[in-house]
Amino acid sequence: QLQLQESGPGLVKPSETLSLTCTVSGGSISSTSSYWGWIRQPPGEWLEWIGNIYYSGSTYYNPSLESRVTISVDTSKNQFSLKLSSVTAADTAVYYCASTIGGYTAFEWWGQGTLVTVSS
Amino acid sequence: QSALTQPPSASGSPGQSVTISCTGTSSDVGGYSYVSWYQQHPGKAPKLMIYEVIKRPSGVPDRFSGSKSGNTASLTVSGLQAEDEADYYCCSFAGSNNLLFGGGTKLTVL
């Protein structure tokens, strides 16, 4: 069974860059059948897709966030990462990493999520 | 405001069936067979219940089923059980490598 675990700072200052890493265990991030994604959920609100990456490095981003988002993969460490620049309080959310099933549109395995608060 | 429209709440008694709708446009729900549904209990990560409109991942009870008609997708939960009480979110491919989520529906088991 695949397991995913997010890690990174829980507090980021406005205008700085949010950086999170997702460590995958129980399977290989180089699997040809999965994409790896980031999804976030502001407190009390709905889910928002941030973007996906394939092990080859191909990326797909939410158009509304694309100018600020970078997702990268490190196959040697079985990890993928998220960077979100120029953050504001609106970026405060629980950030989840996940892996897909049947292409890149459905997320089967999820991390537990990590709360990132943007505040000075 | 979320891109896909879901009713904020739904309810049913144990053993009954309940259907949750997810309305989009011909550019997302209506244009592709890539609608998925997630169950989320408070403080927990979402759980995939349905993908590609009608498919169930391994381990998901067949009490959960999905369908789509035009620009509206639906999740039906049959034989409601207490543990089905949760928030449910739909998600659709929207072309141009974009994924959209709905605003969520709180399902209450009476």
Q: Which residue of A has its CA nearest to B92?
A: A105
Between CA B5 and CA B101 the distance in angstroms is 9
pLDDT of residue B17: 97
Task: Using CB atoms, pick whichever of B46, B57, B93 lies closest to residue A105.
Answer: B93
Q: Give the 3-state secondary structure of chain A.
A: CCEEEEECCCEECCCCCEEEEEEEECCCCCCCCCCEEEEEECCCCCCEEEEEECCCCCEEECCCCCCCEEEEEECCCCEEEEEECCCCHHHCEEEEEEEECCCCCCEEEECCCEEEEECC
CB of A65 less than 8 A from some CB of B: no
Q: Tens of pLDDT along B30-79? A: 999 999 999 999 999 999 999 999 999 999 999 999 999 999 999 999 99
Which 74-113 residues of chain A touch chain B by CB within 8 A?
96, 101-103, 105-108, 110-113
Given a cut of 90, whether residue A33 has pLDDT beyond it is: no
pLDDT of residue B1: 59
CA–CA min distance B16, chain A (Å) = 26
Residues of chain B whose beta carbon is less than 8 angstroms from a beta carbon of chain A are: 2, 34, 36, 38, 45-48, 51-52, 55, 57, 89, 91-93, 96-104
Given a cut of 70, whether residue B87 has pLDDT beyond it is: yes
Q: Tens of pLDDT along B1-35? A: 568 999 999 999 999 999 999 999 999 999 999 99
pLDDT of residue A1: 87
CA–CA min distance B38, chain A (Å) = 9
Task: Using CB atoms, pick whichever of B89, B92, B96 lies closest to residue A46.
Answer: B89
